[in-house]
A and B are shown apart, each in its own frame.
Chain A
Amino acid sequence: MRRTSGELIILCALPAAAILWIAAFFLFPGFLPPMSPGSAPSEVAAFYGDHTARIRYSMILFNWFCVALIPVLMLIVERMRGMAHRTPIMRYCMIGCAGAAPIAFLTATIFWLLAAFRPDRAPELTQLYNDLGWITFTCGVPFLVAQSLFLAVSIFLDQQEKPVFGRWVAYFNVLVAVALVPAGFAGLAHSGVLAWDGLLSFWVKNIAIALWIIVMSVVLGRALPRDRAVAEAAA
């Protein structure tokens, strides 16, 4: 009898989640172009006053669905069972990061929603919420960096005839980890490439995360049927 593991369902749900993420990204008026950390409190307050509805709807969408990445991360963890490791320790490292990374983003959405809840608040208070939202969103990369590095190490250690993921996936993950590093330093600049609206901290970081999700879902998609074939051959 054919059993459904459900893994394919999780993977197929990812494009739906991705559409919602992209929609929320374009709906939030603070991303295109990204808000400047150099804005005066009155400008920040005016932004929340002018775009209250779009900020609320986009951040509610992100709040609902940013954690939808977790099941996909767990699919990766499940693939890691097939790696030629002697201990489950790399999987535990991944699980440890998998919860924290989306929760960091969820925390950022809460700060943005708080700022939009009372747009007529004192401008300095709105700026404070806005700062907390942007810093959490931009600098909150430690778990994403670690996750990519753990995955890369896991793939390097998976020395078998037919490794679960190709070696290039490890190099790709190292590259993504490197691309995320500058965002951690966004607090140091109010303008330029390092600032939270800058080339490195905003564009490179977010494109790296988007690329990671796309590449890993393709790689996962290719790893799933192989497992099914192995299971069917064994049956």
Chain B
Amino acid sequence: MKRPAGRDDPKRELWLAWYAILVFYNLYTVVFFILTRTQPPGKPWYGAGDASGWFAHHHDGLLVGFALIFVLGGLSATSIALITYSIRRMSVSRAFAYSYLILYSVSAVPGFLFICVAMTAGAMRPDRDPALQQWLYDLGFLSFSGTMGVFLVGSLIWMAAILLDKNRVFPKWFGYLNLCNALTEVVVAPSWMFDRGVFAWNGLIAWWINVVVFGLYTGVFINLLRNVIIREDFGTGPLPGLPKRARGHAPAEVVS
């Protein structure tokens, strides 16, 4: 395996981003599954009293876990950036890359900041009126599961780019795995309507199958991104200097 991010490694930026992705997804897993225990999610059918009790029971984990996301959540940009870069290496229009970049960047606030804010607000005041605690509980879980469109369209954009690409940056089968990820965003829609059963936010389809698909998809694309970096051929020499730097253009960049 190529050693990452040495001082003169021409791929150091790529390896730094790739390792940041590893850190981010591991942090994400630890925070959501272990610290806050918000995955698997709480029961959607909880009444106000149960939701209030849930906050009291998860108090410390919620506050510490989501504080970690408040501090380190921005690392998610590395994953978006590396994937955007991978699309720029494809034979398709830059529009695909920029669409992916913007779609996933705007997903950050509804997709993970809302659950952090709502759960922190709930945990900060366990003695709040239970009806309001239930309101925060719903806001947390539904904003997290129910921010769908950006990931749906984002995955389709990435899929289309991979299937059209002549440079074979990603294998075609991964294009179709993007479709599977996009479908998880389709089948999660009923969680806005049902508070129990397979389609509820903790149900067999809307949670268990989705989390398996998403976990598999994420593991696969992290590995494929690693392959993309290994295959990049920048040569091994030092960076050429930038003596004739004209405004708005850096000649040393392979993709600018």
Contact = CB atoms under 8 A, between A and B. Distances in A.
Given A86-B239, A160-B242, A139 B248 contact: no
Nearest to B129: A124
B117 A135 contact: yes
Contacts of B248: 5, 78, 81
Contacts of B255: 87-88
Contacts of B120: 135, 139, 187
A96 B242 CA distance: 26
Interface residues of B, number: 65
A181 B13 contact: no
A83 to B, nearest CB: 7
Interface string A135-174: 1100111111111011001000101110000000000000
Residue of A90, A103, A187, A234 with most partner-chain B CB within 10 A: A187
B66 A187 contact: yes
Contacts of B169: none
A222 B237 CA distance: 31
B117 A139 contact: yes
A173 to B, nearest CB: 13
B34 interface: no
A82 B245 contact: yes
Given A143-B108, A157-B12, A188 B245 contact: no
Given A5-B248, A84-B241, A95-B105, 18 more contacts: A81-B256, A83-B250, A88-B85, A88-B256, A89-B81, A93-B80, A96-B105, A99-B102, A99-B105, A100-B106, A139-B116, A139-B117, A142-B72, A143-B73, A146-B73, A180-B71, A228-B247, A231-B246
Interface of A: 5, 37, 78, 81-90, 92-93, 95-97, 99-100, 103-104, 107, 124-125, 127-128, 131-132, 135-136, 139-147, 149-150, 153, 157, 159-161, 180-181, 183-185, 187-188, 190, 227-228, 230-231, 234
